[in-house]
């Protein structure tokens, strides 16, 4: 661990309208990190929520002063990928992971990831089953994974499962993807550079977002198209 990294892991929790789930999410993180015997910090970044997410985070901080919790609020909505990258620069941890604010991962699932820290450069979760996720969304997710594997030449089971990275690797990467495509972009870039990885199955639960936060928004579709084009160019470059 470097001198700058005063804690083992920085856990960033980007939030957009998560007032109903944020407290449970933070509970799970706290239980998992303590159970894994890991020093940590949690960075909650409110991405200009329209509900009481920011106030809920403040109330949780007051109720749990023992928890190393940092709260930030973006001046404007910056999107998931930018908030994720910003968190890497704000944090101090050796490892870095995104945990969604919708309480989709249990403490047991988070603990499985934290227990594997340092076993490889990247710990990559995948989800054998996802209760609450519609058939259409499952089909789209599987198609997306197959496309990424075909284009990149890798054989991962899932690309949007919030891997555990070294924070330094995230800081070195600047994303031009503004939707959920950024995770595949980052993962494949690091694999191109020779990073090692292990995959771990996790149980998660899918919460349907409102229309404003849907994965089918135009900017997410554009993000995926951009990621796929980037993968094609990088794959061609490797063979030239």
* Residue 38 · residue 119 · CB < 8 Å: no
Domain spans in the chain, listed from the N-terminal domain onward = 7-238
* Whether the predicted pLDDT of 213 surpasses 70: no
* Residue 46 · residue 74 · CB < 8 Å: yes
pLDDT at 218: 67
CA angle 157, 14, 221 (to 5 degrees): 55
pLDDT at 229: 80
pLDDT band at 61 (very low <50, low <70, confident <90, very high): very high
Lowest-pLDDT choice from 3-7, 14-18, 226-230: 3-7
Among the listed residues 141, 106, 131, 126, the one whose alpha carbon sits nearest the alpha carbon of residue 202: 126
Which tokens is 154 given? Answer: 């890798």
Which tokens is 63 given? Answer: 């109720």
* Whether the predicted pLDDT of 207 surpasses 70: no
Residue owning tokens 């919460």: 207
Render pLDDT for 94-148 as a digit per residue (tens, 0 to 9): 999 999 999 999 999 999 999 999 999 999 999 887 666 777 877 888 999 999 9
Q: What is the mean pLDDT of the chain?
A: 87
pLDDT at 73: 96
Share of the chain above pLDDT 90, in %: 65
Mean pLDDT calculated for residue range 176-183: 71
pLDDT at 196: 98
Among the listed residues 40, 26, 2, the one whose alpha carbon sits nearest the alpha carbon of residue 164: 40
Alpha helix (H) residue ranges in 194-217: none
Crossing angle (nearest 10°) for helices 107-115 and 22-35: 40
Share of the chain above pLDDT 70, in %: 87
State the Cα–Cα distance between residues 135 and 132, nearest whole angstrom.
9
* Whether the predicted pLDDT of 77 surpasses 80: yes
- 46 φ/ψ angles, rounded to the nearest 5 degrees: -85, 120
Which CATH number applies to 7-238? 3.90.550.10
* Whether the predicted pLDDT of 239 surpasses 70: no
Mean pLDDT calculated for residue range 224-234: 78
* Whether the predicted pLDDT of 90 surpasses 50: yes
pLDDT at 57: 98
* Residue 121 · residue 193 · CB < 8 Å: no
State the Cα–Cα distance between residues 70 and 75, nearest whole angstrom.
16
pLDDT at 173: 81
Secondary structure percentages of the chain, helix, strand, coil, to 5: 45, 20, 40
CA angle 130, 131, 133 (to 5 degrees): 75
pLDDT band at 237 (very low <50, low <70, confident <90, very high): confident
Beta strands in 21-63 (DSSP E): 40-46
Mean pLDDT calculated for residue range 18-44: 97
pLDDT at 214: 47
CA angle 215, 217, 219 (to 5 degrees): 105
């Amino acid at each position: 661990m470097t001198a700058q990294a005063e804690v083992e892991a920085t856990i960033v929790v980007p939030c957009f309208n998560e007032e109903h789930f944020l407290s449970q999410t933070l509970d799970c993180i706290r239980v998992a990190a303590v159970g894994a015997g890991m020093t940590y910090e949690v960075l909650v970044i409110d991405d200009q929520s329209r509900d009481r997410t920011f106030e809920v985070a403040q109330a949780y901080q007051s109720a749990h002063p023992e928890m190393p919790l940092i709260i930030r609020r973006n001046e404007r909505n910056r999107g998931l990928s930018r908030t994720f990258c910003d968190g890497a620069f704000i944090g101090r941890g050796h490892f870095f992971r995104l945990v969604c604010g919708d309480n989709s991962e249990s403490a047991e699932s988070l603990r499985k990831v934290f227990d594997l820290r340092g076993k490889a450069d990247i710990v990559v979760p995948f989800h054998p089953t996802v209760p609450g996720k519609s058939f259409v969304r499952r089909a789209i997710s599987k198609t997306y994974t197959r496309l990424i594997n075909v284009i990149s030449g890798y054989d991962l089971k899932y690309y949007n499962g919030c891997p555990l990275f070294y924070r330094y690797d995230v800081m070195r990467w600047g994303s031009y993807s503004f939707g959920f495509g950024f995770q595949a972009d980052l993962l494949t870039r690091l694999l191109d550079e020779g990073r090692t990885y292990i995959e771990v199955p996790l149980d998660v639960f899918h919460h349907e977002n409102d229309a404003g936060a849907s994965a089918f928004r135009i900017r997410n579709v554009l993000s995926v198209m951009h990621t796929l084009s980037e993968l094609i160019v990088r794959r061609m470059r490797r063979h030239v």
